[in-house]
C-alpha cells in the first residue's frame, strides 16, 4: 500500500485540542451542515474497507446527509484532494509516523486490525466528544444522526454507545462471510476448526453449505493464528449484534438465502440493509477514484481500446495478497504460454523476497517475459479496476476474490479465474464456482502449465463461454437491483428512514463535560 500522507493533527487527548483537530469546513460547507443531519463514518484503513465506506458516504450525502469521516493516521485520506464536501477528523492510532507499508504476513495484518481499535479508542472518544459539542451551534436538523463504523472496530462502537450515539455496522464482505463469522464458535465446538490435518480441507460443512473446511476463515493449523482469527471474528459479531443496524454491500438476487438467514439470527433491533453494489450506486468520477490508496495507471484504458471484445484477461490480486518470486515466475510464464492478451497488475510489494520483505516492481518480473509477450500484454502497478472490468475488451478476470473485486466482476458480467489467498476470499471463490457458476478456482501450487491451461479454459474454452453467459445474466440482475424500485434502492430508502428515526438526543451533557 502507498505510504499515508502526513498526519493531519498531532495526538492529544485534551478535549479542546481534540476539537481543534477537526478539519475546519469552508463557509459553504458550514452552511450546508446547518441544514443537514449529520452522519459520522469510521472506516478500517485498508483498501478493501475504505472503498465501500466512501461509496456509502456518497449515497448518504446524495440523500441529504452531511458527512464527517473519522480516520486513522495510517493510510489516511487527503482532505485537501479528496471529498471536498466532507469533513475529516484525524484519530491517532499508535502506529509510528512513516509506517506506511503494511505487514507482509497476513497473520500480522490481522493482529494490526485487532489492535487498531483499542489503540484508537481514547483518541476517538475525545474527537467524538468534540464533534458532539459542536451540535450546540447547529439547528435541530443539523444534529448528529448516527455513526457508521466498520464492524472490525469494536471499541469505536463501545465509545459511541457510552456517548449516546447510535452506531450502525458496515460489513464490507458478503452476507455469506458474515454468516461464517457468526457460526465460528459452533464450527470450533464441532471440531471443524482449527484444522489439524490438511486431508480434511475438502470435507463439507453441512451446517454452512456450500462451504468446505478449506473455505472457512483460518490462519494456519491451530495455535496463535487460530486464536487471532477467532478474536477478530468474535469482535466483529459483537459489534454487529450491539449495533443499530447492519449494512451489507451485497444485493438480494445474489445472496437472498444468506440475507434471510442473517435476518433470522439477529435480534429485531438490528435491521439488515443490503444496499449493494455500492460502487454502482455511488460511482467515482472518471479519472478520479477518490478512495484508492494507490495511483492508477490510466494508460491501460487506451491500450484496451485497441483490443477486440472479450479478448483480454485482466489479472489483479488486490492490495494485500503477496506471492513468492517462484509463484510470480510461474504465473508470468503461464500467462506468456497461454497466448492470450492480458492486462496484469503487479503492484509494489506483491512479491516477497527470501526474507519476507516485499520487492520493488522492477525486481519482480522474470527475465525474458517482456520480450515473450511484447505486443499482446501490458503490466501496470495499479489499474482503475472498475473501468477495466467494464471495458468491452475484457473477457476474463484472474482475481484473489476479495469481495469488492468479486462484486465488480459480477456487476460487469466478467467470468473469473479464482486464486484466493486469505480471509473471506476462499468462501467467495466457492460461491463463484459452485453457487453462481461464473468462474472456477485454480488451487494448489502455481505451475506454468496449469496456469496456461486455466487461462485458456476461461478465455477460449466452451465452459468458459458458458460461464461468461451466466455472468452476463448475473450482471443484468445487479443492474436491475439499483434501478428505481429495485431491491437495493428500496433498501437505501429504508436505511435513510431508519437513520432519521434514530434518537441521538439523550446524551447527558455531563458525560461530555467529563471528557473535556
17 in a structural domain: no
Q: Cα separation of 356 and 362, whole Å?
A: 17
Does the pLDDT at position 160 exceed 90? Answer: yes
Strand, coil or helix: 495:
helix
273 plus 140 within the same structural domain: yes
11 in a structural domain: no
Confidence of residue 201 (pLDDT cuts 50, 70, 90): confident
224 plus 364 within the same structural domain: no
63 plus 131 within the same structural domain: yes
> Quick one: average pLDDT of 123-129?
98
C-alpha dist (Å) from residue 310 to 388, 391, 392: 12, 9, 6
437 plus 455 within the same structural domain: yes
Phi, psi of 26 (to 5 degrees): -75, 170
Q: What is the DSSP letter of 323?
A: B
Q: Which pLDDT score, from 0 to 100, does residue 287 have?
A: 45
148 plus 232 within the same structural domain: yes
**pTM (predicted TM-score):** 0.88
324 plus 236 within the same structural domain: no
Q: Cα separation of 59 and 39, whole Å?
A: 12
142 plus 162 within the same structural domain: yes
292 in a structural domain: no
Strand, coil or helix: 46:
coil
94 in a structural domain: yes
Does the pLDDT at position 513 exceed 70? Answer: no
Q: Which pLDDT score, from 0 to 100, does residue 372 have?
A: 97
327 plus 228 within the same structural domain: no
Q: Cα separation of 323 and 407, whole Å?
A: 23
80 in a structural domain: yes
> Quick one: average pLDDT of 181-210?
90
Q: Which DSSP helix (H) or strand (E) runs through 239?
A: helix 223-241
495 plus 400 within the same structural domain: no
Q: Which pLDDT score, from 0 to 100, does residue 309 have?
A: 98
> Quick one: average pLDDT of 44-54?
93
Does the pLDDT at position 414 exceed 60? Answer: yes
> Quick one: average pLDDT of 114-130?
96
How confident is the model over 415-458, as pLDDT tens digits? 999 999 988 999 999 999 999 999 999 988 999 999 999 999 99
Q: What is the mean pLDDT of the chain?
A: 86
Question: What is the tally of structural domains in the chain?
Answer: 2
Q: Cα separation of 232 and 113, whole Å?
A: 8
How confident is the model over 304-353, as pLDDT tens digits? 999 999 999 999 999 888 899 999 999 999 999 999 999 999 998 888 76
Q: Cα separation of 289 and 370, whole Å?
A: 29
Helix 403-411 and helix 47-62: axis angle, to 10°?
60
C-alpha dist (Å) from residue 240 to 27, 169, 498: 37, 6, 16
C-alpha dist (Å) from residue 225 to 1, 193, 217, 267, 364: 23, 12, 11, 31, 29
142 plus 278 within the same structural domain: yes
271 plus 410 within the same structural domain: no
Q: Are 49 and 150 in contact (CB under 8 A)?
A: yes
Q: What residues are labeled active site?
A: 49, 150
14 in a structural domain: no
How would you write 174-232 as a 3-class SS string? CHHHHHHHHHHHHHHHCCCCCCCCHHHCCCECCCCCCCEHHHCCCCCCCHHHHHHHHHH
| Pairwise pLDDT comparison (137 vs 50), residue with the higher score | 50
How confident is the model over 208-220, as pLDDT tens digits? 999 999 999 987 6
Q: Name 88's bridge partners.
A: 69
Strand order of the sheet with strand 144-150? Answer: 87-91, 66-72, 38-42, 144-150, 167-171, 246-248, 272-274
Q: What is the DSSP letter of 142?
A: G
Strand, coil or helix: 57:
helix
Q: Cα separation of 401 and 321, whole Å?
A: 10
Q: Are 171 and 52 in contact (CB under 8 A)?
A: no
Phi, psi of 352 (to 5 degrees): -90, 135
- CATH number, domain of 137, equals 3.40.50.2000
How confident is the model over 128-146, as pLDDT tens digits? 999 999 875 554 557 899 9
Does the pLDDT at position 109 exceed 90? Answer: no
230 plus 339 within the same structural domain: no
118 in a structural domain: yes
Residues of the domain holding 172: 25-286+482-503
Q: Name 278's bridge partners.
A: none
Does the pLDDT at position 295 exceed 50? Answer: yes
Beta-carbon contacts of 443 under 8 Å, excluding residues fewer than 6 positions away, are 419
85 in a structural domain: yes
Amino acid at each position: 500500500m502507498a505510504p499515508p500522507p502526513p498526519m493531519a493533527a498531532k495526538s492529544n487527548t485534551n478535549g479542546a485540542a481534540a476539537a481543534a483537530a477537526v478539519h475546519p469546513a469552508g463557509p459553504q460547507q458550514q452552511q450546508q451542515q446547518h441544514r443537514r443531519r449529520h452522519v459520522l463514518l469510521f472506516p478500517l484503513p485498508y483498501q478493501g474497507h475504505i472503498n465501500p465506506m466512501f461509496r456509502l458516504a456518497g449515497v448518504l450525502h446524495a440523500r441529504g446527509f452531511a458527512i464527517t469521516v473519522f480516520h486513522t493516521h495510517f493510510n489516511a485520506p487527503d482532505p485537501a484532494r479528496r471529498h471536498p464536501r466532507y469533513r475529516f477528523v484525524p484519530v491517532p492510532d499508535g502506529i509510528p509516523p512513516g509506517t506506511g507499508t503494511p505487514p507482509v504476513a497476513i497473520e500480522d495484518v490481522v493482529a494490526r486490525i485487532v489492535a487498531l481499535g483499542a489503540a484508537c479508542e481514547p483518541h476517538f472518544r475525545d474527537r467524538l466528544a468534540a464533534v458532539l459539542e459542536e451540535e450546540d451551534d447547529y439547528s435541530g436538523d443539523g444534529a448528529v444522526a448516527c455513526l457508521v463504523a466498520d464492524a472490525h472496530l469494536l471499541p469505536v462502537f463501545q465509545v459511541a454507545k457510552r456517548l449516546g450515539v447510535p452506531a450502525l455496522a458496515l460489513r464490507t464482505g458478503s452476507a455469506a462471510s458474515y454468516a461464517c463469522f457468526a457460526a465460528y464458535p459452533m464450527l470450533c465446538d464441532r471440531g471443524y476448526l482449527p484444522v489439524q490435518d490438511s486431508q480434511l480441507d475438502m470435507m463439507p460443512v453441512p451446517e454452512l453449505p456450500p462451504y468446505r473446511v478449506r473455505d472457512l476463515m483460518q490462519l494456519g493449523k491451530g495455535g496463535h493464528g487460530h486464536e487471532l482469527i477467532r478474536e477478530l471474528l468474535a469482535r466483529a459479531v459483537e459489534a454487529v449484534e450491539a449495533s443499530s443496524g447492519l449494512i451489507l454491500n451485497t444485493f438480494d438476487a445474489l445472496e437472498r438465502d444468506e440475507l434471510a438467514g442473517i435476518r433470522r439470527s439477529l435480534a429485531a433491533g438490528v435491521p439488515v440493509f443490503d444496499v449493494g453494489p455500492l460502487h454502482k450506486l455511488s460511482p467515482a468520477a472518471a479519472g478520479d477514484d477518490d478512495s484508492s490508496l494507490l495511483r492508477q495507471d490510466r494508460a491501460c484504458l487506451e491500450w484496451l481500446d485497441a483490443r477486440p471484445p472479450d479478448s483480454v484477461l485482466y489479472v489483479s490480486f488486490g492490495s494485500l495478497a503477496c506471492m513468492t518470486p517462484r509463484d510470480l515466475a510461474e504465473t508470468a510464464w503461464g500467462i506468456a504460454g497461454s497466448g492470450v492478451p492480458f492486462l496484469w497488475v503487479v503492484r509494489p510489494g506483491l512479491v516477497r523476497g527470501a526474507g519476507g520483505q516485499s520487492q520493488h516492481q522492477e525486481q519482480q518480473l522474470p527475465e525474458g517475459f517482456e520480450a515473450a509477450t511484447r505486443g499482446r500484454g501490458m503490466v501496470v502497478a495499479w489499474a482503475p479496476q472498475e473501468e477495466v472490468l467494464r471495458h468491452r475488451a475484457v473477457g476474463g478476470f484472474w482475481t484473489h476474490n476479495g469481495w469488492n473485486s468479486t462484486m465488480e466482476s459480477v456487476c460487469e458480467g466478467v467470468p473469473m479465474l479464482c486464486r484466493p489467498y486469505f480471509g473471506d476470499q476462499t468462501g467467495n471463490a466457492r460461491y463463484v464456482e459452485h453457487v453462481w457458476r461464473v468462474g472456477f478456482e485454480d488451487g494448489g501450487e502455481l505451475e506454468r502449465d496449469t496456469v496456461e491451461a486455466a487461462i485458456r479454459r476461461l478465455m477460449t474454452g466452451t465452459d468458459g463461454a458458458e460461464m461468461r453467459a451466466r455472468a452476463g445474466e448475473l450482471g443484468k440482475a445487479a443492474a436491475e437491483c439499483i434501478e428505481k424500485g429495485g431491491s437495493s434502492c428500496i433498501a437505501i430508502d429504508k436505511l435513510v428512514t431508519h437513520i432519521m428515526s434514530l434518537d441521538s438526543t439523550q446524551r447527558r451533557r455531563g458525560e461530555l463535560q467529563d471528557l473535556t
